[in-house]
Structure 1
Amino acid sequence: MSTVLPELASRSRRPEGATRFDVLGAISVSHFLNDSIQSLMLAVYPLFRSNFDLSFAQIGLITLAYQLTASIIQPLVGRYTDRHPLPWSLPVGMISTFLGLLLLAVAPNYAVLLLAAALVGLGSSVFHPESSRVARMAAGGRYGLAQSIFQVGGNVGTAVGPLLAAFFVMPHGQQSLSWFSLLALAAIVILSFVGRWYQHQHRLPKKAAPVAANTLPAGLVRKSLVILVALMFSKFIYLTSISSYLIFYLMHRFAIPVREAQLHLFLFLAAVAAGTLLGGPIGDRIGRKRVIWVSLLGIAPFTLALPYAGLTASALLTVIIGFLLASAFPAIVVYAQELVPGKVGTISGLFFGLAFGLGGVGAAVLGQLADLWGIDTVYHICSFLPLLGILAAFLPQRPSSI
């Protein structure tokens, strides 16, 4: 790291249009650190539930608090920075995540837990649209690959969270969360160097007309964006049913201990990371619409089978579901960026914000349903959501000439 980070900030010339893997690697590592903190928070829900005697609905509200602050502000940040780039917002936003994690470690009651979760979400609201912009700046034309490299860091971090919870936080208690503030500090350092590179790019002479024009009719663009939002609904509500409640579902249905359930969640999240890494470059090669179609509708047979599977089969099915489901998101983000050229921050903020917002609302609603009808019923209902993937058939084959 000591040799790579100064290189990011240097003014060394690279071939025009070359993919900057050093920059992509730095924001991917930062994404890993950011999302490992978020995943850690989700994975210690059983600890919060026992410490504060919480219901499923209250567990869902913790997710809602963190994901609403992440979702509502992200499009606003993206829209503003499309016009007024803020290179130093990356490390500044991570400071909010750092403070939120420290507050989680010492929270004495449920209200403070909600505030801490909101601070973690606030950090994400700045991090994701600006990091997605950096990924596109460093892509060298390989936009799907760049999004996958950026996003896979977050997915690996999300997968690591349950392991950290199982082997460190659960045995040592809530206050041990404070040690993971070191992850946020490391991200602040890395993002400071990324911010210097980002700032330098805006000082370079600009070439004429770098953004391709969109030749699609405005009505078709709007229709396509509505379809993408519906597909995001299908993807992230179902994803929330696994990430927020798989531990409780497995413990209830198969009477397994917390640590074993957390390991099952790790397998699912690791598959999500693998799917994210491959989804972008596959979309570059065969077309993003095909990836979206296969990823979302293709998981329906597996989600429909999951509520009836045994423990071993459940582990296998969740791995398949996680891999296929995750491959859609890099393709969706880049597809949407190509629908509206020149609005990278706005589109990135909108779709990352939707991801968090839908996940948060979904967690709250599913928590209420789990309290009313039981966690098994929730998994039966959610198993039908991927059937909405049929809407991908109505997307235009290629949004723009980018």
Structure 2
Amino acid sequence: MASQATVNAGTARPSAGIPTSKPTVYKVLLAISLVHLFNDSIQSVIPAIYPILKDSMTLSYAQIGWISFYFNLTASIMQPVIGMYTDRKPKPYMLPLGMASTFLGMLLLAFAPSYAFVLLAVSLVGLGSAAFHPQGSKVAHLAAGSRKGLAQSIFQVGGNAGQSLAPLLTKWIFIPLGQFGSIWFTLVAGAAMLVQTFIARWYKGVIEAGAVTAKKTVQRAMDPAKRNKIAGAIVVLVFLVFIRSWYAAAMTSYYAFYLRDVVGTTIDQAQIYIFLFLAAGALGTFFGGPLADRFGQRTVIFVSMCGAAPLAALIPYVNLGWATVLLVLTGFIVFSSFSVTVVYAQTLIPGKVGMVSGLITGFAFGMGGIGALVLGNLIDAHGISLIMKLSSLLPILGILTLFLPSDRKLREWSSEV
């Protein structure tokens, strides 16, 4: 068994971020991207149903923020934990089991008789998301071969495409059907479990072939100065994702109310503008990975934040026609680094794919729930117009990208592992 563990540790080394000549398994990448679309389209039900719940349960903006907080907090706390656990003990069938929690959450949401049951329902959906994302990102990493940026883009574009459906769900399902419309998404969860079973079998086969194992690597003494630089880079990267999540929370949770109360559209009409923002974001997610493969990861992260900053800042001050153009451009640019930040973090901390993916796509992104809660309370206190104008300035903080190590420095650190 000891010799077998040695062999497995050697074969697992490419998953630690070192270039590999293994082929890219596109059928698995497309399958995991499809499940990501299913998973995040179900997640998108949560913000999509806000206008319905606000009216039917007479909720304040702060209470809407608490719904987002419960959902995101469940997902954000559990994702790094599940990621660390599955790095040590790979669990392929956690994928369909996590979706079972999502299924129960959607079933409960359809029949939730009170605000407390809504909070419980969204927490179950968040738990299912926490089980999916670290494992899904790891599957994408294993199926990537040498095309890590492209693989993460394929994986993440499914999720962002699913999120972009939220405003259309509001327009076509929840406005005509109300809260009970969420029952239809139990069918989506069922379909996702079927696809995940196929993926889990492939993942199990990879484990049995020795490409993945709960390995015990020899810990090399790392230069304390280098360790501090890596820790500092992770802090900056998490903060950047945190800021992007706060901005996304402002747009997805409250922009529809801004358009209704300030601009004068209906909630129904407002969904089209949010959809354009999110759909452009899904497109930006797809192109971000290949662009990072060509121009560098830090460059794409910097451009995605600072390039979007002036456009985002203008949105509250222009007419609806120009706002539409700016929404599309801002969505495309700001989400172009979505998959890139994951690959960058995996390069910073090689060999911890699940934990790192959970940290970036889970903890940092999930902290957008705190953003939604804070913004909801601020809107109740100071009005939606002022808070949306202040939120539009958040991408300016992308200037902190300059404190991240360059791609060349990352390669130097990787070669020293």
Aligning the two structures, in what range does the TM-score lie when normalised by the shorter sequence? over 0.9
Give runs of aligned pairs for residues 1-400 of structure 1, distance below 5 A: 17-206=22-211, 217-398=226-407, 399-400=410-411
Q: 1:119 to 1:206 in 2, by over 3 A?
A: closer
Identity percentage over the alignment? 48
Secondary structure class of the residue paired with 1:396: coil
Alpha-carbon separation, structure 2, partners of 1:353 and 1:112:
24
Which stretches of structure 1, 4 residues or longer, exceed 4 Å deviation after superposition?
206-209, 213-216
Alpha-carbon separation, structure 1, partners of 2:135 and 2:271:
31
Alpha-carbon separation, structure 1, partners of 2:44 and 2:372:
14
Name the counterpart of 2:4: none
Alpha-carbon separation, structure 2, partners of 1:67 and 1:107:
19
Alpha-carbon separation, structure 2, partners of 1:385 and 1:258:
25
TM-score, with structure 2 as normaliser: 0.89
Secondary structure class of the residue paired with 1:229: helix
CA contact (8 A) 2:276 2:328 kept: yes
Q: 1:206 to 1:248 in 2, by over 3 A?
A: closer
CA deviation map 1:182-212 (0-9, x unaligned): 0000000000110000000011144999x9x
Residue 21 of structure 1, CA deviation: 0.7
Alpha-carbon separation, structure 1, partners of 2:371 and 2:322:
25
CA contact (8 A) 1:271 1:323 kept: yes
| Number of corresponding residues | 386
How much is the aligned-residue C-alpha RMSD, in angstroms?
1.9
Secondary structure class of the residue paired with 2:243: helix
Alpha-carbon separation, structure 2, partners of 1:361 and 1:142:
34
| 1:332 partner amino acid | T
CA contact (8 A) 1:230 1:388 kept: no
CA deviation map 1:17-43 (0-9, x unaligned): 111110000110001011111112211
CA deviation map 1:333-391 (0-9, x unaligned): 10010001101011001111224432100000000001000111111211221121111
Alpha-carbon separation, structure 2, partners of 1:396 and 1:177:
44
CA contact (8 A) 1:232 1:354 kept: no
TM-score, with structure 1 as normaliser: 0.93
